[in-house]
Amino acid sequence: MVENVHELRPKASDTEKITINLGYVDLGHVDLMVQEGFYSNRTDFIRTAIRNQLERHADVVRQSTARKSLDLGLRSYTREDLETARRAGEMLQINVLGLATIAQDVTPELARATIASVSVLGALHATPAVKAALADRTR
């Protein structure tokens, strides 16, 4: 029975993995905070530190987001969205702070015909072929 189960759509992750390098003393401080029970693990400490810094600079982030006309959060571009833009003769300027997703069924040709530029602060999820087709338009 299990061999008949097929995943209809791969589950999208709501996080992106990053790697950081810390000095031994800083890492020791993090481990001490975890050991003392202030945080459940290193990741919890680092996420909390990042959120605290983002909150501390929230006004600057809001101003920059508005000035740069960035879509904030999750922004998905479907094949239908791009085909509508093509019919209207429009070229899209993708400017996202967060996660931008171009649907799996979007062809490289459709992407090039409808997307003038891509600027994503965060992550861009698209097929490798679409990313390659838009490489010269991505900042």
What pLDDT sits at residue 69? 87
Express as a percent the part of the chain with pLDDT over 70.
Answer: 91
Q: Which domain holds residue 112?
A: 69-137
User: Per-residue pLDDT for 117 more than 60?
Assistant: yes
How many domains does the chain contain in total? 2
Residue 107 placed within a domain: yes
End-to-end Cα, the chain, rounded Å: 47
51 and 102 fall within a common domain: no
118: closest CA among 105, 107, 102? Answer: 102
- What band does 9 get if pLDDT is binned at 50, 70 and 90? low
User: Per-residue pLDDT for 136 more than 80?
Assistant: yes
pLDDT tens digits for 41-62? 999 999 999 999 999 999 998 8
Helices in the chain by DSSP H: which ranges? 24-35, 42-56, 58-67, 79-88, 108-114, 128-133
- What band does 4 get if pLDDT is binned at 50, 70 and 90? low
48 and 76 fall within a common domain: no
Whether pTM > 0.75 for this model: the answer is no
Instruction: Give the DSSP letter string of 109-120.
Output: HHHHHHEEEEEE
